[in-house]
């Protein structure tokens, strides 16, 4: 049977489509894409004229079966999304899960992804982070989702759209307070790539004051909750107690 290749595509800069990605896309029997028109344009720039068919969130379940049948018949196929890495806030999970269940070979290529690009350029702690994807669109649900993350010690990473960036920054101030450190990465790998960093209040003020800073694509990153002095004291106390116990007869 054939192999399903998961192929990341650029998040802005065409130079980021790797030579390996180009080779795989040129050699597979067909390419499953979120938006076939959008992807054909990209592929044309690399002189790849392969068959492209649609696999998006609305037809993934039914298409997955057709893809599996084709893989079983011996064709190798590639999955791409509009930008970046498939399955990361993009379709593909159902397909990959089913391929794994059927024992089909899945090969994922590394490549462009807004999460790792933003984190590696932001200057916030990266030893541990949690990706939260897109926040709920409805204000009340959004605030609730944020409130659930207040005590999270890992760096928080969100995707955000230009329609909601101002409202989300306002919610962040309300829920996390003005002082928590954050970085807002915008238009990564593109002409107007920008990182705004500082307290939530400082970043919100810069975005509110400049309509240009409200345009494009965003990755929003928030420092994790600081271990409060109180928690630190309790931890030190417990450690001391453990050490003392270990020395007791």
Burial of 95 (0-12, 13-18, 19+ CB in 10 A): buried
Range in contact with ligand SAM (rule: CB under 6 A) among 120-128, 167-175, 186-194, 225-233: 186-194
Please, what is the minimum distance in Å from the beta carbon of residue 102 to ligand SAM? Answer: 24
CB of 164 to ligand SAM, least distance (A): 10
Alpha helices per DSSP H over the chain? 19-27, 36-45, 60-72, 93-101, 114-122, 139-147, 165-176, 200-209, 229-246
Closest approach, Cβ 235 to ligand SAM, in A, equals 36
* Nearest position to ligand SAM, beta carbon: 84
Q: Tell whether residue 84 is a contact of ligand SAM (CB under 6 A).
A: yes
On the 0-12 / 13-18 / 19+ scale of CB atoms within 10 A, 29 is middle
Find the part of the chain contacting ligand SAM (CB under 6 A) among 44-52, 85-93, 122-130, 196-204. Answer: 85-93
Among 25, 32, 113, 203, binds ligand SAM (CB under 6 A): 113
The continuous run of DSSP H or E covering 198 comes out as strand 194-199
List the 155-160 sheet strands across, edge first: 129-134, 155-160, 218-222, 181-186, 194-199
Contact between 90 and ligand SAM per CB under 6 A: yes
Torsion of CA 173, 174, 176, 179, to 10 degrees: 40
Q: Kindly state whether residue 155 participates in binding ligand SAM, applying the rule CB under 6 A.
A: no
**Under 8 Å between Cβ of 11 and 89:** no
Q: Which two tokens stand for residue 25?
A: 């896309």
Of 218, 221, 222, 224, the one binding ligand SAM by CB under 6 A: 218
Q: Determine, following the binding rule CB under 6 A, whether residue 12 of this chain makes contact with ligand SAM.
A: yes
- The least CB distance from residue 83 to ligand SAM, in Å, is 5
Q: Which stretch binds ligand SAM (CB under 6 A): 17-25, 60-68, 182-190, 228-236?
A: 182-190
d(CA 224, CA 157): 10
Least distance (Å) between residue 249 CB and ligand SAM: 58
Q: Which residues bind ligand SAM (CB under 6 A)?
A: 11-12, 81, 83-85, 88-90, 113-115, 159-161, 185, 187-190, 217-219
């Amino acid at each position: 049977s054939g192999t399903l290749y998961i192929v990341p595509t650029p998040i802005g800069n065409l130079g980021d489509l790797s030579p390996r990605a180009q080779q795989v896309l040129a050699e597979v029997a067909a390419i499953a894409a979120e938006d076939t028109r959008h992807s054909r344009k990209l592929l044309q720039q690399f002189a790849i004229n392969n068959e492209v068919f649609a696999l998006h969130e609305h037809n993934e379940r039914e298409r997955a079966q057709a893809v599996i049948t084709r893989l079983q018949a011996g064709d190798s196929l590639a999955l791409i999304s509009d930008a970046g890495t498939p399955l990361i806030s993009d379709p593909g999970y159902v397909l990959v899960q089913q391929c794994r269940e059927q024992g089909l070979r899945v090969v994922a290529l590394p490549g462009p992804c807004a999460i790792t690009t933003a984190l590696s350029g932001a200057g916030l702690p990266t030893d541990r982070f949690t990706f939260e994807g897109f926040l709920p669109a409805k204000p009340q649900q959004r605030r609730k989702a944020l409130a659930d993350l207040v005590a999270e010690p890992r760096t928080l990473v969100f995707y955000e759209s230009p329609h909601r960036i101002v409202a989300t920054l306002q919610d962040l101030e309300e829920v996390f307070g003005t002082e928590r450190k954050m970085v807002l990465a915008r238009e990564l790998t593109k002409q107007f790539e920008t990182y705004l960093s500082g307290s939530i209040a400082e970043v919100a003020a810069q975005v509110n004051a400049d309509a240009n800073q409200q345009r494009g694509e965003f990755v929003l990153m928030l420092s994790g909750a600081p271990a409060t002095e109180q928690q630190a004291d309790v931890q030190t106390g417990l450690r001391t107690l453990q050490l003392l116990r270990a020395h007791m007869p």
